[in-house]
Structure 1
Amino acid sequence: MKRCLFLLVVLFYCSSCSRSPEKALSREEKLENVLKNIVPPKISDNILLITDFGAVGDSLHDNKPAFDKAIQACKEQNGGKIVVPAGIYILNGPIHLTSNLCIDLQKGAKLVFGANPADYLPAVLTSWEGTFLYNYSPLIYGYQLENIAITGDGVIDGNGRDNFSKWAENQKESQLLSRKMNKENTPLKDRIFGEGHFLRPQLIQFFECKNVLIEGVTIKNSPFWCVHILKSENVTARKVKFDAFNRNNDGFDPEYSKNVLIEDIDFNNADDNVAIKAGRDHEGRRTAITSENIVIRNCRFKGLHGVVIGSEMSAGVQNVFVENCSFGGYCKRGIYLKSNPDRGGFIRDIYVNNVTFGEVEDCFFITSYYHGEGKGFETDISNVFVDNVRCRRATNAGVVIQGYPSKKVRDIHFSNVKIDSAATGVSLSHAENIVFNDVIIGEEVKVPSHAK
């Protein structure tokens, strides 16, 4: 009997060994699998004209009551499409969305938000630089919703330049308090900011939302981040245009979010075009919701940085695809991955394919020691694949990789990269298995010279 059992075990083991290992998916196959799970919401056929609810686009009247009434009507009717015709619509307070709602800004329509901070109270649950807290309401706010859309050829103007934007000079005390609460795990109910504090609200925030579309609109003059995609999934952003030059005017900030498509965007931002995040420090590691399956394609970058991952990314970021993008103007850095030893988490499985930049300071930059600070929670950065990237000029460096002594950046692959000129071609420290295949920085060296 024992001999028979032994024989069966041996046969099973040999059978298992003979199976061929599963073939690893290619970048194209991985991308296709991600895109299958991103489907824009169906927009309701129930049309509501905002002017039927008392809205007047004369740049004088307060249209918040009209929007509140129209949104309530959509809620009672289980969905609707609020059409905003041409005109300038002042809103002295935020728009709070509801499920199964589309706001369609027709050509010539412009929403301009009022400048009185008190109009954005009471405080709502939100997040600020990777820490959950109660603060002034984002100007357009969706919380725990499904099937929502903002579409059309109109403009959303945060009117932040002369009010909220100036708060950046006074935010330090509240900023440090939020970080202290993060580190000490202060109960969420006690993290009350708003009045008496200077944390600027986001222009648009989708918080714990599913099935979201933002398409066509122009976004400008935001108080803080422009579009914050927070703990949300199945989000499509398409053909959006940015004209946002205030401090911290990031374009899109996906955080703790998955299945996000950002495509055909014209960026023009004073800060990051796309900044992928996943919470800050202790709270990010406790929340442990990875930002993943994010596709950025067919975009035109212009502003501070093209695509950034971090620095608040403590829950981890993975499966990011930057595809077929070019530039609409200057970027300080093209692709920028940044963390420090306070963050922890990981950045992995990042794919950059067929991307072109003009003049930058640095074309490709990875650092595990952002701002030269932090300890105890090093970030694991690995498996980054850069293929077919072109850059005309890097005034500082072509490729920079800065790992950390106890956690090296590893397994970074460059193929078919051409940078016409760079003050420094390559700078690597605390990095291992960095692979270059057909990489030229500066003039291509061809046939070697010979003695005459």
Structure 2
Amino acid sequence: MKKIIPPAISTDSILVTKYGAKGDSITNCKPAFDRALKWCKEKKGGKIVVPPGIYIMNGPIHLVDNTCIELQKGAKLVFSTHPDHYLPVVPTSWEGTFLYNYSPLIYAYKVNNVSIIGEGIIDGNGKEGFSKWYDQQKPAQQLSRKMNHKGVPVKERIFGKGHYLRPQLIQFYDCKNILIEGITIANSPFWCVHFLQSENITARKVKFDAFNKNNDGFDPEYSRNILIEDIDFNNADDNVAVKAGRDYEGRKTAISSENIIVRNSRFKGLHGLVIGSEMSAGVQNVFVENCTYSGYCKRGIYLKSNPDRGGFIKDIYVNDVQFGNVEDAIFITSFYHGEGKGFETDIRNIFLENLRFKHAGEAGLVIQGYPTQKVRDVYLTNVKIDSCTTALSLSNTQNIVLNDVVIGKEVSTPSSAK
């Protein structure tokens, strides 16, 4: 916590409407935002205030150093569905592989001290736009992975037009000192908020309303010193998915994601806390505490890798967390999708304490190691799962320690013979 300090917000502010933006749901406000950002750059910092209204953005917002965007209550940014508005391609990453692709809708590259705050809404308009590309992405997806495995230079990995890789809604790439606070994030084309190779990040009081394919909430990747707190998740995919690169490239980059705190939040969506599956550079020092649920999650705690990844998942601490009905309560696997070979993941030192689940439709606790790399040193203390179909499924494990664990109805005094 001592290393996580939100950036200072400039008191030198300007209304974006001064540069021609109109919240009339008709006018293209991208030129106005570009002019306001130029003003911030010339001033070496500033705050762009967006008053109530619906602002159409025919293209991305590219943040600059020492800049804050404040979306006041009643303000809404709605992004264009036209792919050409997000060209030329920019340096980014897609499912754990560095490449050039369509610009994220809000994009910060190699900038410091940036904030997005307020009570307004950022609407990626994904349902009507990029999300429709999901069924067309496979060839480009496979090509990106082939380039990863073969070590093709990043400058030669040009995607964008003619390919169908959806951009993230918000991405911070190689940035320091980031704050996201108060806003509502909706209708993302792909991942909602991607922290890529960045550090010193605070995200608080954010609300999600994102139901398209792959609408993860927060995806920290190759990133460190992150506080995620007081969040209302409502995502069609993972709420928090900690990543660290994919396969060969992740192992080569070797920047672990670490020192991540998730606390005082409400989970709702596909999975609550996820680590992986793109985590080849390693994930460590993740702390989840004092969280509950506001709706259904398919899985509560989900750690996943496979033998294509390598790397490690270690020193994970989950404490005082509650879920309602789930499919699987706790699921740890080294064989995600049943595929991969040659690079087993080291999963160890997992501490789960004071967890409560009402019902698991499938399994209570699943741990799947690998024959040549067992999952080891997993400690469960004071864990209660009221009911489930399968209580325990442990394979290729070592030193799984259960203290005060009840799965199903707790057994009291034994009955006596009659």
What does residue 144 of structure 2 align with? 178
Deviation for aligned residue 1:186: 0.3
Q: Tell me, what secondary structure is at the counterpart of 2:128?
A: coil
C-alpha deviation, 1:231, in angstroms = 0.2
Q: What is the aligned partner in structure 2 of residue 407 from structure 1? A: 373
Q: What residue is the counterpart of 1:126 in the other structure?
A: 92
Task: State whether structure 2 residue 267 is matched by structure 1 residue 292.
Answer: no
1:55 is displaced (CA, Å) by 0.4
Report whether the alignment pairs 1:163 with 2:129: yes
Q: How does 1:205-284 map to 2 (within 5 A)?
A: 205-284=171-250
Secondary structure of 2:18 counterpart: helix
Does residue 292 of structure 2 align to residue 326 of structure 1? yes
**C-alpha offsets along residues 60-100 of structure 1, whole Å, 9 cap, x if unaligned?**
00000000000000000010000000000000000000010
* Distance (Å, rounded) in 1 between the aligned partners of 2:202 and 2:287: 14
Q: TM-score, normalised by structure 1?
A: 0.92
Task: Tell me the residue number matched to 1:341.
Answer: 307
Post-superposition shift, 1:163? Answer: 1.5
Q: Any idea what SS the aligned residue of 1:42 has?
A: coil
Q: Does 1:148 align with 2:114?
A: yes
> One-letter code of the match for 1:391?
F
**1:150 shift after superposition:** 0.1
Distance 1:256 1:289 in 2: 5
Which of 373, 382, 397 is matched with 1:431 structurally?
A: 397
- Give, in whole Å, the separation in 2 of the partners of 1:277 and 1:393: 28
Which residue does 1:79 correspond to in 2? 45
Partner deviation per Cα, 1:197-239 (whole Å, 9 max, x = no partner) = 0000000000000000000000000000000000000000000
Pairing 1:26-65 to 2, within 5 Å after superposition: 35-65=1-31
Q: TM-score, normalising length from structure 2?
A: 1.00
Per the TM alignment, residue 450 of structure 1 is displaced from its structure 2 partner at its CA by 1.4
Aligned-partner SS, 1:192: coil
Letter in 2 for 1:110: K
Output one character per residue of 1:418-451: Cα deviation in whole Å (capped at 9) or x when no partner.
1100111111000010000000011101111111
- The C-alpha deviation readout for 1:347-395, integer Å capped at 9, x for no partner, is 0000000000000001100000000000000000000000000000000
SS at match of 2:404: strand
Question: For residues 425 and 304 of structure 1, what CA distance do their matches in structure 2 show?
Answer: 21
Name 1:116's counterpart in structure 2.
Answer: 82
2:72 is the alignment partner of 1:139: no
Q: Which residue in the other structure is 2:153 paired with?
A: 187
Q: Deviations over 1:138-164 (max 9, x none)?
A: 000000010000000000000010210
CA distance in 1, matches of 2:55, 2:402: 54
Amino acid at match of 1:151: I
Letter matched to residue 361 of structure 2: T
Match among 327, 335, 348 for residue 369 of structure 1: 335
Moved over 3 A (4+): none
Q: Which amino acid aligns with 2:135?
A: E
2:169 alignment counterpart: 203
What is the one-letter code of the residue matched to 1:305? H
Classify the secondary structure of the residue corresponding to 2:387. Answer: strand
Aligned AA (2:287): F
Q: CA deviation at 1:189?
A: 1.0
Give the number of the structure whose alpha-carbon radius of gyration is greater.
Answer: 1
1:303 Cα shift?
A: 0.3
Q: Partners of 1:189 and 1:429 in 2: how far apart?
A: 43
CA distance in 2, matches of 1:246, 1:168: 10
**1:100 and 2:66 matched:** yes
Partners of 1:284 and 1:262 in 2: CA distance = 24
Count matched residues: 418
Paired with 1:396 and 1:162, the residues of 2 have a C-alpha distance of: 35
Q: Distance in 1 between matches of 2:152 and 2:410?
A: 57
Match of residue 358 from structure 1? 324
Aligned equivalent of 2:412: 446
Q: Residue type matched to 2:16 in 1?
A: I
CA RMSD of aligned residues (A): 0.4
| SS of 1:169 mapped into structure 2 | helix
Unaligned runs of 5+ residues in structure 1 are: 1-34
User: Which letter does structure 2 place at the counterpart of 1:395?
Assistant: G
**AA matched with 2:169:** L
Residue 420 of structure 1 aligns with which residue? Answer: 386
